[in-house]
Each structure stands twice: as structure tokens, then as C-alpha cells.
Amino acid sequence: MKNNAEISLDKTDYGFVGHFKAMASPCECLIESDEQKLALQLTQIAANEGWRIEKKFSRYLKGNPCDQINQSNGQPVAIDSETFQLLSFADACYQLSDGLFDITSGVLRRAWQFKPGAKFPDKEFIDSLLPLIGWKKVTFDENSVCLPPSMEIDFGGIGKEYAVDKAAQLVAEKAPEVSVVVNFGGDLRVTCPPKNKPRWQIGVDGKSGTTERAVSLSVGAVCTSGDTERFIMHEGKRYSHILNPKTGWPAKNAPKTVTVLADQCLQAGLLSTLAILNEENAESFLQEQGVQYHCYY
């Protein structure tokens, strides 16, 4: 694993903040408690859960269930119940979004790179990848999954959100009375309302200390999709790094970032991603969902 299995703790005016790295993101636990020992325990619980889920479902790590499925070359692969549940959730997202959310769309990264100076791909290459995308070609049940040859699955769109929800759940079981913000690189969940203030004020871009784009919430989750730095400009249009699995093309004319507040991180994360895929209709999509959101253009 490339992450240091290290955590650190700092004293703050509300209690403690624990830091660690997971899923290639800076992570933190804001803990409303003056008990240092408890704060350390809670940070460790959140970090362990983040690292566990990363190790099990990251597509970059060899030998884990995700890798086994991607290397299966059309053969059924045995799965455990957690993997089954995550696949079931991905399936629900695919159905609910009419295919706009598809965990088999990761192959498009072969064509698209969103870093400064990256080349704009040609249409033929993108079109050649489209037959490798399509969740409906995947079959799975409680015991096994079967993925057609050359296709790939990628839990990237839900893995971090899942990890935040699970970590928050474990933290809440350990200390049900303590308000903790579990924040994995800007996707976060508050376990219960804080006692010493009405709500937490948190920067949405994952950088602590930024108040420019902040949300306040007492309980629930916040997720942000899109990125102010990862995009590609082509013929005067701004292309987001979020790709439409049906066309192979990035969302364009969408808000730079979309932040959604919801009960769980999984829900907030998916709604913010789908909002960007709705491009210029992002806000009307979110309004119909009846959720609180912030769009930055």
C-alpha cells in the first residue's frame, strides 16, 4: 500500500482533529470532544475502515476482489457479501440513472487524461471503447460475478463515499454522543449534531481552513463532484473529467463543481455526479431531487 498507515492528532477549539491519508486524499476527523484518548481511537477507527475499503476495492491494487474481477477474462469470480452489496448498489445506481452511472465506464480513461497539456482524444478511439462499457452485460448474484472479457469495473465513483459512510457508522457506534465529521478529501459525513454550536462549517474542497466555499450542517453528508483543476479545454469549451458512459465524452457546460447535502455520503456523491452529467441542466436536476446543493461555475 502506498499510504502511510499513520495518523496524527491536533488540538482545536472544538476538540481534536485527526489526520491521515487514504484513497489518495487527505482525510480528517473533526471530533467535538476534549478527550484525547477517545479522539485518537475514533481517528484510528475511521482510518482503519478507509484503508480496509481502499485495499479491498481499489482498482489500482493487485489481487484484491476488484482486480480479480477485472482479470477474470469472462470467467465467474466468487465474491463475498460486502462485494455483492456494493455491486447491488452500483446496479441500483445504474437503473436509477438510466445508465448515466456505470461502474464499467473506467475503460474510458484510456482515452481521456485530464491534466495540463493532455491531448484531446479523437472520436474513433473513443467509439472503439464504447463496446467495452455496459453494466447490463455484467451478471452477478450473491455468490459470483461474471464480467465479459476486456471489460473493467471501477468502484471509484462510489468507493470513497461508501468508505466515509462506513467509517462514520463505526465512529458513531464507538461514540454515539460525540459529534464527529469524517472527511475523506471533501466527501464527508457528520455523525450527530454538535453540542457546542448549531452546526459545523466545513470547506467543501477538502482543504481544511478554506471558508470561501463552505457548507454548514449539523448532521448528514456532503459530497462534491467535479474539480476546478481537472478539466480539459477544447475549441473554447470546458470539458469536465466526469465522463458520460453512453457517449464516452465528458460532461461539458456543467458547473465546475457540484456540492450536494444528503443523509448519506453515497446518496450525496451520486447525486452530485449525476448533476454534472446533466450538464447545463445540473441545477434543475438537483431542484427536482429536493436536496440542498451548491453549484460553482
Partner 1 sequence: MQLDTKKLATATKPKNVASALTAASLALLGSAAKAEGDFWDFSKDWKFNTGGLYYGEQDRVTAVEGVFNATREASYNDKFSFKLVLDSLTGASPNGAVAQTDIQTFTRPSGRGQFDVAAGEIPLDDTFRDTRVQMNAQWTTPRGEDKLVNYGLHFSKEYDYLSVALNGGMSWDFYNKNSTLSAGLSIAMDQFEPEGRIPYAFAAMVIDEGQFANQDAYNQAFDATRRIDSDDKDTTDLLLGWTQIINRRTVMQFNYSYSDVSGYLTDPFKVVSVVDAQGVAQEHLYESRPDNRTKHSFFWQTKYHMDNSIADLSVRYMTDDWEIDSVTLEYKHHFLWENNSYLEPQFRWYQQSAADFYTPYLIEGQVMPEFASADSRLGEFSAITLGLKYGWRTQGGSDMALRLSLYQQTAEDVLSSHPGDLASLDIYPELTAVFLQYTYDF
Q: Is the Cβ of residue 3 or residue 97 nearer to partner 1 in the bound state?
A: 97
Half-sphere exposure at residue 115, Cβ-oriented, CA atoms within 13 angstroms: 2
Output the CA–CA distances (angstroms, integers) from residue 213 to 203, 208, 227, in the order listed: 6, 11, 13
Contact footprint for partner 1 (CB under 8 A):
85-86, 88-89, 92-93, 96-98, 100, 123, 162, 165-166, 169, 172-173, 176-177, 190-193, 195-196, 211-214, 216-221, 244, 246-247, 249, 251-252, 261-264, 266-267, 270-271, 274, 277-279, 281, 284-285, 287-294
- Nearest C-alpha neighbor of 171 from the set 17, 14, 23, 39: 39
Smallest distance from partner 1 to CB 2, Å = 27
The DSSP letter of residue 247 is T
Q: How far is the CB of 170 from partner 1 (least distance, A)?
A: 10
Which CB sits closer to partner 1, 21 or 242?
Answer: 242
| Residue number, 22 or 221, with CB nearest to partner 1 | 221
Q: How far apart are CA 93 and CA 258, in angstroms?
A: 18
> Other C-beta atoms within 10 Å of 244: how many?
19
CB 148 within 8 A of CB 138: yes
Amino acid at 119: K
- Based on CB atoms, which residue is closest to partner 1, 227 or 279? 279
**Considering the complex, what minimum distance in angstroms separates the CB of residue 75 from partner 1?**
26
Query: Which residue's CB is nearer to partner 1, number 52 or number 246?
Result: 246
Phi, psi at 141, each rounded to 5°: -140, -170
21 vs 129, which CB is nearer to partner 1? 129
CB of 149 to partner 1, least distance (A): 27
Strand partners, 145: 77, 140
Closest separation between CB of residue 72 and partner 1, Å? 23
Q: CB under 8 Å to 63, separation ≥6 — which residues? A: none
Closest C-alpha to 186, from 200, 201, 203, 206: 206
Q: How far is the CB of 120 from partner 1 (least distance, A)?
A: 13
